[in-house]
């Protein structure tokens, strides 16, 4: 190589670095400025969502980076305390050793193991439905259902406060889409009358609405669905495992297990708290989802340790309702004591206990002060909840003791008085 060629090889890259910005570089700089302005707007509004770092396993008592000693955790979806249950953890370890870390594949290629089929069978048994299909999350289960089930000749009627994953899943289908007012049977009936010419109609609701802890009026919904020839779908993520006499969910709690046709739920909350979701319902529907549901067909199968842990959690609930039954008294202890102290608690008789504050910045400041008192809670604000509806969402677990609950209430009283929320 000549000296001139060598020099040319060095100078050209330097020109790229130190010369005038390319058109692509300018576009990146413009995008960065736009994003920074958007982020600053979130900070100014007081709705910035920081992430605290937990340095221990999930449970009622955790260690938090930057905090001293054990912290009482009152904001996890670990309703039954099974995330760190010794048998659940051991089942995950055993599955890891026997089946490996993962399948490196989707289910229909080479990603189905006997433990996946076993978990699906147990979940179908648990919900008393014909069949079950597993997904990577319930978000995926909701994204995969409506597009397959409903076409342009059909209609879907959805509660206006349904979970974001339901809203996104419905957007993917070509059916006529109607929203009815939150838990309003009158408005739902009007929408059913409006769509009587549709081939199929599906009424879609959360069983428990996660931001408020209110329970859908399933008996009334089922009455209307039967009157107008519609099917009923319920998302049971915040009910599976602990609502109802045997923890089957809101359909058991309200006596309509044989009238709800399709259920989606999660393995990532009460059932071990790892990951994964599923659909249970009529076998023809589950068979069709295996053929056409995009999140199922194009996502890796659930890792064996997750399946092993979740299977053991379901087995524990199939064997006994003792854990689920312990929830009611603890939930009401917190709700009654907080109400007596002067706080406004949304919902009713559900372990989700939203402490309503209204102001986003206040919710953030109070949750920070609660952490200083050894209580881990998080302020919720827009866009997670509507503007002006900021809150601290407390979640009671079967693993909390009465002393844990009383300590949480005392911390709320101290912090509430500091910020003028209560006198």
Give catalytic residues, as residue numbers: 210, 238, 269
- The Cα 385–Cα 356 span in angstroms is 11
Report DSSP letters for 125-176, one per residue.
Answer: HHHT-SEEEEES-HHHHHHHHHHHH--TT-EEEEETT--HHHHHHHHTS-SE
Q: Which residues lie closer than 8 Å to 30 by C-beta, 6 or more apart? A: none
325: number of Cβ within 10 Å: 14
Phi and psi for 40 in degrees, rounded to 5? -65, -35
73 — phi, psi (to 5°)?
-100, 115
Question: How many CB atoms are located within 10 Å of the residue 423 CB?
Answer: 7
Give Rg (Cα) of the chain: 25
> Measured on CA atoms in the order 202, 263, 265, 385, is the torsion positive or negative?
positive
Among 267, 240, 284, 279, smallest CA distance to 132 is for 279
CB 374 within 8 A of CB 72: yes
CB 224 within 8 A of CB 193: no
Would you state the structure tokens that stand for residue 295, as one six-digit string? 């999140």
> Which is nearest to 262 in space by CA: 169, 160, 168?
169
Question: Do residues 416 and 365 make contact, with C-beta atoms less than 8 angstroms apart?
Answer: no
Q: Are strands 262-266 and 277-281 parallel, antiparallel or unpaired?
A: antiparallel
CA atoms lying within 13 Å on the CB side of residue 305: 12
Closest CA to 350 of 330, 376, 379, 370: 330
For 330, list phi and psi in degrees, rounded to 5.
Answer: -70, -40
Residue with tokens 């779908």: 233
Identify any residues that bridge with 54 across adjacent strands, giving them in sequence order: 64
Nearest to 327 by CA among 270, 398, 244, 401: 398
């Amino acid at each position: 190589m000549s000296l001139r060629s060598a020099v040319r090889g060095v100078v050209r890259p330097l020109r790229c670095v130190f010369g005038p910005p390319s058109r692509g570089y300018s576009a990146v700089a413009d995008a960065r400025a736009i994003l920074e302005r958007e982020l600053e707007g979130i900070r100014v509004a007081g709705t910035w969502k920081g992430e605290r770092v937990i340095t221990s396993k999930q449970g009622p008592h955790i260690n938090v980076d930057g905090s001293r000693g054990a912290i009482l955790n009152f904001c996890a979806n670990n309703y039954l305390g099974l995330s760190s249950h010794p048998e659940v953890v051991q089942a995950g370890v055993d599955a890891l050793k026997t089946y490996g870390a993962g399948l490196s594949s989707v289910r229909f290629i080479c990603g189905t193991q006997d433990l996946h089929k076993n978990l699906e069978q147990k979940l179908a048994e648990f919900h008393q439905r014909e069949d079950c299909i597993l997904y990577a999350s319930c978000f995926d289960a909701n994204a995969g259902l409506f597009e397959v089930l409903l076409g342009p000749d059909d209609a879907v009627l959805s509660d206006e406060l349904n979970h974001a994953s339901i809203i996104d899943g419905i957007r993917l289908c070509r059916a006529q889409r109607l929203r009815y007012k939150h838990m309003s049977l009158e408005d739902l009936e009007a929408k059913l009358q409006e769509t009587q010419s549709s081939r199929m109609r599906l009424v879609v609701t959360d069983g428990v609405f996660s931001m408020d802890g209110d329970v859908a009026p399933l008996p009334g919904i089922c009455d209307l669905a039967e009157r107008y020839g519609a099917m009923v779908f319920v998302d049971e993520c915040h009910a599976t495992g602990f609502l109802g006499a045997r923890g089957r969910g809101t359909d058991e709690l309200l006596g309509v297990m044989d009238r709800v046709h399709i259920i989606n739920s999660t393995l990532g909350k009460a059932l071990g708290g790892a990951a994964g979701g599923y659909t249970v319902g009529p076998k023809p529907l589950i068979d069709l989802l295996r053929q056409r549901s995009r999140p199922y067909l194009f996502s890796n199968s659930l890792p064996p340790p997750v399946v092993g842990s979740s299977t053991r959690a379901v087995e524990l609930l199939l064997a006994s309702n003792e854990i689920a039954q312990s929830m009611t008294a603890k939930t009401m202890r917190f709700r009654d004591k907080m109400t007596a102290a002067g706080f406004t608690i949304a919902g009713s008789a559900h372990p989700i206990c939203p402490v309503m504050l209204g102001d986003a910045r206040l919710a953030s400041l109070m949750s920070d002060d609660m952490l200083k008192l050894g209580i881990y809670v998080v302020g919720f604000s827009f866009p997670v909840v509507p503007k002006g509806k900021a809150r601290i969402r407390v979640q009671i677990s079967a693993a909390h003791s009465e002393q844990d609950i009383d300590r949480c209430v005392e911390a709320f009283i101290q912090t509430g008085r500091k910020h003028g929320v209560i006198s």
